Amino acid sequence: MSDQSEQWKDEILAAPAVSGAPEKNVPAFRRTEKPSGLLSSLYDLADILVSAVLVITVLFLFLFRFAGVVGPSMQPTLHDKDWLAVSAFDFQPRPGEIVIITQPNRWHEPLVKRVVAVAGQTVDIRDGQVFVNDELLEETYLPADVSTYYPSDTFCTGPLPLKVPDGYVFVMGDNRTNSTDSRYREIGFIRCDYILGKVRFRLWPLGNFQIDK
């Protein structure tokens, strides 16, 4: 082996290991600065808020549908252009509940009404008051001076009292003088299959979420 080869060998063995190079030898573009304590906390909080919003949005879309009120038939409880959150989760129609109905009608749009009686119950209207199974229906959601009428033979669903068939419900609007509902032949009894769900709360107008039951 030549003297020059021996010299190169000694230089290679004497060279420092790269893995032990100090941080100052790392190019500047590879250096990262850790955010300060306050900035790090803000990042963590923003991440938590974004995750929470995403979870709530997904749950809301799966559990609820949305429906708008058209017309005055549910006044004073609901008003025209109100927006409602509707859910069919764990739902069975019960008297007093407000529901969204998709049963075909001449308006070709969903209806929002209140369930008055369910399958097997008997509905009667006497002296402006509603009776279910021959007992006066306590409609605390209506103004005290509201009177419920029954349409003439030409338009009515049938002679009173009416027994609700299996698989159906009897519904009415809260605005009893301006609501086309189960009292009328063109609507009649509502098949439960055509009930989209129960109105849970009001989305619009803002600040008025509670619905009188």
pLDDT, position 149: 94
Query: Which one is the CATH code of 65-204: 3.40.50.300, 2.40.50.100, 3.30.565.10, 2.10.109.10?
Result: 2.10.109.10
Element (H, E) at 172: strand 168-172
CB 89 within 8 A of CB 63: yes
Cα–Cα distance, 70 to 4 (Å, whole number): 98
195 Cβ partners below 8 Å, 6+ apart? 88, 93, 99, 100, 101, 102, 169
Tens-binned pLDDT, residue by residue, of the chain (213 aa): 545 555 544 554 454 544 444 555 545 545 455 556 777 777 777 778 777 777 666 665 667 788 999 999 999 999 999 999 998 877 889 999 999 999 999 888 999 999 999 999 999 999 999 999 999 999 999 998 899 999 999 899 999 999 999 999 999 999 999 999 999 999 999 999 999 999 998 988 887 777 766
Q: Which of 113, 179, 182, 198 is catalytic?
A: 113
Please give the torsion angle defined by the CA atoms of residues 195, 198, 201 and 205, in that order, rounded to the nearest 10 degrees: 20
Predicted local distance difference test score (pLDDT) of residue 135: 97
Tell me the whole-structure pTM to 2 decimals: 0.71
Query: How far apart (Å, rounded) are the C-alpha atoms in residues 211 and 213?
Result: 6
* pLDDT value of residue 198: 93
Task: Look at the block and give the residue holding tokens 């019960």.
Answer: 94
pLDDT at res. 49: 79
The answer to whether the CB of 57 falls within 8 A of the CB of 73 is: no
73 assigned to active site: yes
* Active-site entry in 24, 34, 40, 73: 73
Is 213 in the active site? no
What residue ranges do the domains of the chain occupy?
A: 65-204
